[in-house]
Amino acid sequence: MTEENRALGTPLGKHPTRVLFLGSGELGKEVIIELMRLGAWVCAADSYTGAPAQQVAHEYRVLDMANATELRALFDEIKPDIIVPEVEAIATSELAAAAEHGAQVVPSAEIAAICMDRERLRVLAHEELGLPTTPYRFAGSLEELRAGAEIVGYPCVVKPIMSSSGHGQSVVRSADAIDAAWTEAQEGRRAHDEGDVSRVIVEALAPLDYELTVLTVSSSAGIVTCSPIGQRQESGDYRESWQPASFTQDVLAQAQHIARTAVEGLVAKARKSGEKGWGVFGVELFVLINGSVLFNEVSPRPHDTGMVTMMSQRLSEFALHARAILGLPITQEHVALSIPEGTVAASHAIVVQGNGEVEFRNVATALSKPGTDLRIFAKPEVHGHRRMAVALAIGSDAADARAKAGNVAESLEIDIA
């Protein structure tokens, strides 16, 4: 059996293809459903019990995935053929060790490590691959941050190099706010309680017109790109997305070139270490007011904004990810839109604030209009604010689709028990 021709269809038999998910959120849940449809055996691990993907997997485990000893013990127990990291807080040294012992890490141990580290990723994208980015500097101290900010200029953005979803990020308008930005980068980032000092990236605040995500798929058939996805964010977190986005042919060409080049560069790193580099990548791009496109970041897994593909494409980003990591070929035809020509699909994140179990009612009314859908993630509880569901819709244009998806969300009655 080769990685391009894995045995499928006997998940409870003697020789199943065994897939281990590290992280069991709503995106992983959808990928697991697609893997189970293709006959793989799946175990979902997370730091707590009852995570969305754990509810649909064959088995689940609860552990601290950033703890190398615990993660190594999990690998020894499960003996996975394929390991799928779904979160950033993972002991990457153990991923590399697992890859050396023959496990297929998705998309690769090397790629997972690069994409977790904004410094390594930016150096690869701009300095090795020549992709356009905002002016930037890295800093390991407050003094270096002050000097870097003077070079890139104000306003600028300060981010910890090892974080995500806007955690620890600040927009700095003048030099007197730099100290506060350094503090936020240290205390607001993920894993801030580990006691170390985080390096940061400071980059110029680009004259942004809008943002795009280009889902890019690496498979046994090569690399292809999906139609770009438009998005709206709040404090670094996705709130709405729509596909296809509105763009000129010039912007489309730039976006596809940057996305393909970035993923080609990452996959080349994987191949050098003997890994496959297969899977879906969410390439995040800035489109500036003058029409130029800049590389921002890349997620080595299905992207939040790509939830819209559950409505817009015959094969969602989750189905594409499942197929790619199993060694199945993905061609440009596989990533085509499936909605009627001239229409647009949209997604609307449903974020709930409070403390307790979240119950949804009035679903019948919310989904009464044709061309709408809903995914409830079934997360056990909310403490503070948490994305608990996503509304989906198809409309005559982006505004119509976004309005319909928003209406689904607004029609729900949400109780916190």
Active site residues: 164, 166, 284, 297, 304-305, 387
* Residue 127 marked in a binding site: no
In the beta sheet, which residues pair with residue 348? 240, 391
Does residue 150 have a known ligand-binding role? no
159 annotated ligand-binding residue: yes
Crossing angle of helices 26-37 and 317-325, in 10° steps, is 60
Q: 195: which residues sit within 8 A by CB, 6+ positions away?
A: none
Annotated binding residue 165: yes
* 26 assigned ligand-binding residue: yes
Q: Token digits for 268?
A: 């080349």
Counting Cβ atoms within 10 Å, is residue 385 exposed (0-12), middle (13-18) or buried (19+)?
A: exposed
93 is in an annotated binding site: no
Tell whether residue 357 is among the known ligand binding residues.
no
Instruction: Calculate the alpha carbon distances from 130 to 122, 271, 320 in Å.
Output: 10, 20, 28
Task: Confirm or deny that 169 is annotated as ligand binding.
Answer: yes
Q: Tell me if 110 is assigned to a ligand binding site.
A: no
Helix residue ranges per DSSP H, 38-83: 68-78
- CA–CA gap between residue 229 and residue 303 (Å, rounded): 11
Residue 379 in marked binding region? yes
What is the residue type of 269?
A: K
Backbone angles phi, psi at 385, to 5 degrees: -130, 145
Q: How far apart are alpha carbons 406 and 401 in whole angstroms?
A: 8
Task: State yes or no: 240 annotated in a binding site.
Answer: no
Distance, CA of 407 to CA of 391 (rounded, Å): 9
- Characterize the bridge pairing of strands 41-46 and 18-22: parallel
284 assigned ligand-binding residue: yes
122 is known to lie in a ligand binding site: no
Q: Is 211 annotated as a binding residue?
A: yes
- Asked whether the beta carbons of 268 and 252 are under 8 A apart, the reply is no
Omega of the bond leading into 107 within 30 degrees of 0 (cis): yes
> Cis omega before residue 52 (within 30°)?
no
**25 φ, ψ to 5°?**
-80, -165
The answer to whether the annotation marks 236 as part of a ligand binding site is no
How many angstroms from the chain centroid is the CA of residue 223?
A: 18
CA atoms of 254 and 260, how far apart (whole Å): 10
Cis peptide before 155 (omega within 30 of 0): yes
204 assigned ligand-binding residue:
yes
Answer yes or no: is 168 a known binding residue: yes
410 is in an annotated binding site: no
Q: How far is CA 87 from the centre of its chain?
A: 9
Task: Output the six-digit token pair for 212.
Answer: 């795009």
Q: Which residues have a Cβ under 8 Å from the Cβ of 385 and sit 6 or more positions away?
A: 351, 352, 353
269 is in an annotated binding site: no
| 27 carries a ligand binding annotation | yes
- Residues placed in the known binding site for ATP: 118, 159, 164-169, 203-206, 211
- Residues placed in the known binding site: 26-27, 86, 118, 159, 164-169, 203-206, 211, 284, 297, 304, 379, 386-387
- Residues placed in the known binding site for Mg(2+): 284, 297
